[in-house]
Structure 1
Amino acid sequence: MVSDNGTGTPLGDYLRARRELIRPEDVGLPAAGRRRVPGLRREELALLAGISADYYLRLEQGRDRRPSAQVLDALARALRLDEDATAHLHRLAVPDRPRRRSRPRRPEHVPEGVRQLITTWPHTPAFVQGRLLDVLAANPLAQALSPLFTPGTNMIRALFLDPDSGAAHGRWEASTEGSVAALRALVGPDVDDPALVELVGELSVRSERFRRLWARHDVRPKRSGISTITNPQVGPLELRHEKLPIPDADRQILVIYHAEPGTPSAERLALLASLAVDPAEPGQSTARGSVPTGRTRG
């Protein structure tokens, strides 16, 4: 298995990236003296993890690919990894599996039952997200809610290269950082996926911010929560989003938005649903009126 930069292993790349993000003073080590590299030195991380510097060097250089779970946990503690990042570290250490790399991965297909299901929800925005954050299917209300949810859109590409498409979601810096970390979580050790290599290559060339974020190796799955989306037709909506993995589909996730009943956001979502079903003619107002557009909150 190749690494992100074509050298070593994904495990070694991850250890190196996370090591360089830890300041010596953060872990009780003196920061005095000239340091040739950012973050911790290899021998300092090895000391913190309770392993030999030579053994750690072999891990980082890809010369030892079978560390024990105890060693990985010790490294995770030394690197101050959270639960998600620790799980990712363990996945990267799984021995290489045979893989036919010459064949491109087959196109992603949404299960027909799921596709039919979301079309029966005229009042609930819903879409299916693929393993590389592509929108594979979406119902009309999801597409009316945000251009990011249009089928065929790669959400991470749109966020970085077409800021207008993600402007309604606000907090661009937080959104881009979270999306890169979510992509890392989705692909795991599968960094030689040709589609991923192409996407990362394109974004690395065209976006300095993406290049810096990708090099950090942050891993953070996107989970259910609350977000505010400003829609040009009905204004800001504070919505809950649920992210449900689809069984028997390779890392596909069903994303559902809904509003708290009885809130202004619920009223605005209902209005948007009526507009999505029966949009007004260009230049005309709807019979039910409109809601002033507000600024997006975080």
Structure 2
Amino acid sequence: MGTPLGDYIRAKRDSIQPESLGLPDRGPRRTPGLRRTDLALRAGISVEYLTRIEQGRDRNPSPAVVNALADALGLDATEREHLRYLTKISGSLCVSHRDRAVAPPNRQVRASVLEMLRLLEPAAAYITNRFGDVLAYTNGFERLMAGSGVLEAAQPNLTRYVFTDPRAHDFFADWDQAADELAFDLWLAPSVESSEQFRRALEADAGAQFARRRDRHVPPPQLPLRLNHPAGEQLRLLRERLELPHADAQQLVVLLPADDTTARAMARLHHRDGGGLRAVS
């Protein structure tokens, strides 16, 4: 059985053209990308050891080996951080974890956090977690999502909405970007077991388009979010995120206009009737 670490190294190796690293062209290859022998040589490890890591037979490479692989693959700072994270969870992930009872993610939003959210009105802001659950939101966020279907479920979840609701493809002008971000965010969940459980459940409904992104392991760039609002407004939004304390395992996300056109459009949306701050049990 493979591991997230091994899958990522193999996927990253397959995406690299040897010429980009100054390596000579050695003729046709059975698979695209960097040969395992070339990566092992650049990292200063044996091909057999690299094979064991990629296939999940070695789950605990030393920090020196992980850093050497990061250098050999030419990873940037964000990719290096992700590589270290995958090393950590690969070391703890085993078959027994998949079979034991998994504690559900924390859905309780503290009263002081709800008060902070209330003070942000009329801004579009919400509390979420790495699974995409929408746990509480402002009236401004409700107006922003009106007509999209995001908040129709009893327990709204952005990840499930994006991958299973056909309306998401129209609502998110850059659907692929949104899908990549939400799939990658699952790797950052506080519990390896709960994240794995959520991914398996969603894959049953979302199919290959989710599985492909889930295994890509590519940290997506943080670009403005573009929405096609059902009211006919074209919105371009910046997202500011505040990580709440570790015990909460939640984030506060505020959506801000990225340009004057969006600011005027959101002002028009704010004049619509709304219900006020909402916490989802």
TM range (shorter): 0.7 to 0.9
Q: In the TM superposition, what whole-angstrom CA distance separates every residue of 1:210-266 from its partner, at most 9, and x where no partner exists? A: 33322322234x75x6433332336223333211111144531111123379x3433
Q: Residue 174 of structure 1 corresponds to which residue in structure 2?
A: 177
TM superposition shift of 1:73: 1.4
AA at the equivalent of 2:65: V
Residues 10, 191 of structure 1: 8 Å contact kept: no
Q: Tell me: CA distance 1:187–1:19, structure 2 relative to 1, closer, same or farther (3 Å).
A: farther
CA RMSD of aligned residues (A): 3.0
Listed one character per residue, the Cα deviations across residues 41-98 of structure 1 (whole Å, up to 9, x for unaligned) are 2212101212221222222233333322222112112222221221121122234289
Amino acid at match of 1:103: A
- Residue 243 of structure 1: SS of its match in structure 2? strand
Say which of 51, 54, 76 aligns to 2:48.
Answer: 54
Residues 227 and 96 (structure 1 numbering): CA distance in 2 closer, same or farther, change over 3 Å?
A: closer
Write the distance in 2 (CA, Å) between the matches of 1:194 and 1:162. 20
- 1:67 matches 2:44: no
Once residues 105 and 186 of structure 2 are traced to their aligned partners in structure 1, the CA distance between those partners, rounded to angstroms, is 18
Q: What's 1:236 paired with?
A: 234
**Which residue identity lines up with residue 104 of structure 1 in the other structure?**
V
Larger Rg: 1 or 2? 1
Measured after TM superposition, the shift of residue 162 of structure 1 is 2.0
CA positional deviation for 1:176: 2.2
**Offset, 1:39:** 2.0
Q: What's the offset of the Cα at 1:175?
A: 2.5
Query: What is the correspondence of 1:203-242 to structure 2 with a 5 Å cutoff?
Result: 203=206, 205=207, 208-220=208-220, 226-233=224-231, 235-242=233-240
Q: Is the 8 A contact 1:115 1:137 kept in 2?
A: yes
Separation (CA, whole Å) in 1 of partners of 2:195 and 2:224: 33
| Aligned-partner Cα distance in 2 for 1:243–1:173 | 21
Is the contact between residue 143 and residue 274 of structure 2 (CA under 8 Å) also seen in structure 1? no
Cα 1:200/1:30, change in 2 over 3 Å: farther
SS of 2:49's partner is: helix
Q: Which consecutive unaligned segments of at least 5 residues does structure 1 have? A: 1-6, 279-298
Q: Distance in 1 between matches of 2:270 and 2:219?
A: 35
Structure 1 residue 9 corresponds to structure 2 residue 25: no
Within a 5 Å distance, the mapping from 1:80-229 to structure 2 comes to: 80-94=74-88, 95-96=91-92, 102-109=100-107, 110-146=109-145, 147=148, 150=151, 152-186=155-189, 193-203=196-206, 205=207, 208-220=208-220, 226-229=224-227
Contact 1:244 1:253 in 2 (8 A): yes
The normalised TM-score by structure 1 is 0.76
1:41 is matched with: 35
Give the aligned residue type for 1:93: T
CA pair 213-240 structure 1, distance change in 2 beyond 3 A = closer
- Please list the CA deviations of residues 160-204 of structure 1 after superposition, one character each: whole Å capped at 9, or x if unmatched: 32242352331222322333233334468558632232123432x
Deviations 1:88-126 (A, max 9, x none): 211222342898651122342222322343234331111
Answer 1 or 2: higher relative contact order, Cα 8 Å, separation at least 6: 2
CA-CA distance at 1:40 after TM superposition: 2.2
Distance (whole Å) between structure 2 residues aligned to residue 173 and residue 53 of structure 1: 35
Q: Quote how far apart the aligned CAs of 1:135 are.
A: 1.5
Q: How many residues align?
A: 266
Residues of 2 paired with 1:238 and 1:229: CA distance? 6
SS at 1:93's partner residue?
A: helix
Which residue of the other structure, out of 74, 78, 81, is the alignment partner of 2:72? 78
- Structure 2 unmatched ranges of 5 or more: 276-281
> When the two structures are superposed, what TM-score results if normalisation uses the length of structure 2?
0.80
Stretch of structure 1 that moved more, 244-253 or 185-194: 185-194
Picking from 269, 274, 286, the partner of 2:271 is 274
Letter in 2 for 1:86: R
Quote the Cα distance in structure 1 between the aligned partners of 2:191 and 2:79.
Answer: 10
Greater per-residue helix proportion: 2
Q: Secondary structure at the match of 1:29?
A: coil
Change (3 A) 1:86 1:168: same
